[in-house]
Amino acid sequence: MSSRWYTLSVQEVLAKLKTDPQKGLSDKEAKERALRFGPNELAKAPREPAWKLFMAQFKDFMVLVLLAATAISGFLGEYADAITIAIIVIVNAILGFVQEYRAERSLEALKKLTSPEARVIRNGQERKMQAADLVPGDIVLLEEGDRIPADMRLLKTSSLEIEESALTGESLPVLKLAGALSGYGLAPGDASNMAYLGTVVTRGRGRGVVVHTGMATEMGQIAGMIQEAAREETPLQHRLAQLGRWLVAFCFLICAVVILLGIMRGEEAYQMFLAGVSLAVAAIPEGLPAIVTVALALGVQRMIKRQAIIRKLPAVETLGCSTIICSDKTGTLTQNEMTVRKIIINGRVIDVTGEGYDPKGEFTGGLDKHDQHFNLMMKASALCSNSVLERGSVSVTGLFRGLAKGQPAREWSVLGDPTEGALMVMAMKAGLWREKLEMKEVREAEIPFDSDRKRMSVLYRQPAGELAVYVKGAPDVILDLCTHSLKGGLAVPLSKREREEILNQNSELADKALRVIAFAYRELPAETTDFSEERVEQRLIFLGMAGMIDPPRPAAVRAVLTCRRAGINVVMITGDHKLTARAIARELGILSKGGEILTGRDLDGMSDEEFADQVEKVSVYARVSPRHKLKIVRALKQAGHVVAMTGDGVNDAPAIKEADIGIAMGITGTDVTKEASAMVLADDNFSSIVAAVEEGRGIYDNIRKFIRYLLSCNVGEVLTMLIAVMAGLPLPLVPIQILWMNLVTDGLPAMALGVDPHDSDIMSRRPRHPRESVFSHGMAWRIITSGTIIGLGTLVAFRCGLFMGDVELARTMAFNTLVFFQLFYVFACRSESHTILEIGLFTNLYLVGAVFISAALQLLVNYVPFLQAVFHVVPLNGLQWMTILLISSAPTVLGTIYHHFIGGARKKVMYLKV
């Protein structure tokens, strides 16, 4: 195939690629080409093999020291100890490998979920598909905000501008045209009829045919520009890594003290060295970073099930700190299924029946469907649109509408803008289908909708040759461009009084929560060639208005209430009229009586200082453009808020990037917006944001749970050895016991805490401060006191063992007490504000199973004769087991009962106060 596609005419390109510009490729042909050309993906850096990930577990300094100690044990003839220690080290490495492997695969799955999509024509039907599935010859539709999915030769353009800085370094967008270019060896930046992979549509629309995919694209050939995304580390992970280094230093110091004191007391130097190393391995929470990563990854997977796709891992942490959610109205807080309810023509209000996008309905009030004025307005609503009506996944055009009869209305949907879809369906109810109209009229040009312009225009050539301009947009904007209105089929000057009446009717519709769109029209001479907005969008003839409704999502109403309970303010941002915004905001519970609403015009008239004084009082913004969103985000952040901001258009990207948590719409969002975001909503639903905040808080809680568990247990282990040596007692634990205990208590139970269900009242708390220490709210004190109790309790069991028998019995009792202390204590770590009696013992079956397995393994060590010799334990009688279980369970059981009744009493007092 040619490498100089820009020199060929549209017809030559289509002939070479053997494709149809209207129908595209067939699925059969696409499959054959996919086998020939491969997936449309750039080559990725080779993934680190599993064996390397496993071997990396042995690079830790403490593990290497332990392996050296194992070798010394073997050299000195302590083969049982050497083999057992080696097995424990390997099992620990396997657990670490499983944790890291799961985290890696979870993060890879997230990247796949946010891969770009493209609008493609296959088998004559428009559909959305993964960009990776594109093949040469595919016909791709482009619109503002799309990232170009492959190298393409443009077939048709309408004010199409593409920003190509990723490829050329040129930051200004390039105007694209469809005509062939002369000359050879043009640089990508000069090929104005080409669109290249990785570049971005900043304005207009277009249609292109794929000429190169994957590594054959310009981007694929520039290997130096391919950058693999580095694995992100959240602030919490970074802080825990620093904590880990501090703990390592502290543990080394304590272990050195234990070794020196033991040797000074006359203990064998080798035994003390091995005990010190084993204690360091047990005391250092080496599994903490991996468990944090697993908790984050598993939490992210839960968010995916709740329709929130996390693109940047730090967002998981930030979600729990959110104090304000700034949300778009349409599709996020509302159902995004617009339906025209009323139209106004010449001051006359006409009701429109029908539901959703089903093109069945009537115009009430004795309206004549053959009226010229009515037909002109319906024609404007049908032609001034780029959306496609679908039933299921099949496009339903005017030519094939008969196939759709008799199927349930709920299957109807719109591919494209919901507002355009509603207007198109309105025209269909009047019997006007765009495809049928376009058999007589041909679109010559389009001036796309722009959030700043608030309007869209299309130019169609009539059968007689003259040009018709159809315009739709915000009523106030359209009215400013109109000089005439239609009366009895004639254009008459628009009087001041008539303008006021139109604006009053607009306000009346908006006050009923209807979104209002106005239509205008004009004719241009056949020889007109200047299609600029200055030339086209002037001296328009006003046709009428359509009022449509997008009802609030019931789930969004509940979610707003949840946010209020959680101390999170919800701010609604919309391009709709102020009155429409007020009505919807009140229905949603966002706007209370006396609540303030600001418009884009208000924002433009305010200085940054004036706005900063107002920003925390405002809960609704109406008639705003994306540039205003940036101003809102900055003002809220300066006021000390943690801001989540939603968006879908390309112009929303700066505000989304500026926000603490940028949220893109998964259905209506552009690729550019998704790339700028930290989170993507798969269903464009506000309640999914609130669900993600809930999960974010739950993940943070779970991380705190196992930090509390691991550090409390490690403090208990260190204190057991340190106090015993300082008190002149024999060593309460031998090295092999310390290592085994580390395996059975820090492994499965700690991992199970990472998937613990969050507290039922988690969304009744205030948001935490983003710089809040992980040891805040008394957790440091809990760790120290719990660790001290574990250590002292173990020493009590050790002393009981010395009283009942010899050192070996005492060590067996201390060993089992310390293990069961931790297995009981893990249940106390499940909540900081509720007891296990309130949570329920079996609400985390993973934890119950983990504790059961760990307890069973511990019993095997005690009663399998071979293992008794390896772990230096002796069989225990009933009294000894009773002593162990009483000591190890008493703090957890008594603490639970105490807090349960004290907590209940406090709740009763609070109830009486209320």
Residue type, 399: L
Outline where 759-844 has alpha helix (H).
779-804, 807-828, 836-839
CA atoms 336, 341, 344, 347: torsion sign: negative
Residue 263's contacts (CB-CB under 8 Å, 6 or more residues apart) are 269, 272
Residues 328, 358, 660, 759: which is the catalytic one?
Answer: 328
> Of 669, 48, 572, which is closest to residue 311 (Cα–Cα)?
669
User: Helix, strand, or coil here: 446?
Assistant: strand
Contact call for residues 664 and 656 (beta carbons, < 8 A) = yes
CA atoms 167, 170, 171, 174: torsion sign: negative
Contact call for residues 541 and 579 (beta carbons, < 8 A) = no
E strands of 426-506, at which residues?
A: 442-450, 455-461, 467-473, 482-487, 490-493
Query: Residue with structure tokens 């999509």?
Result: 117
Residue type, 467: L
Alpha carbons within 13 A on the beta-carbon side of 819: 28
Identify whether 328 is a catalytic site residue.
yes
Contact call for residues 336 and 550 (beta carbons, < 8 A) = yes
Residue 754's contacts (CB-CB under 8 Å, 6 or more residues apart) are 291, 294, 295, 298, 702, 703, 706
User: Helix, strand, or coil here: 847?
Assistant: helix
Report which DSSP code applies to 67.
Answer: H
Integer Cα distance of 894 and 825 in angstroms? 12
Integer Cα distance of 855 and 612 in angstroms? 59
Count CB-CB contacts under 10 A for residue 767. 19
Report which DSSP code applies to 439.
Answer: T
> What distance, in Å, lies between the first and last C-alpha atoms of the chain?
79
Integer Cα distance of 881 and 623 in angstroms? 73
CA atoms 759, 763, 769, 770: torsion sign: positive
By annotation, the residues acting in catalysis are 328
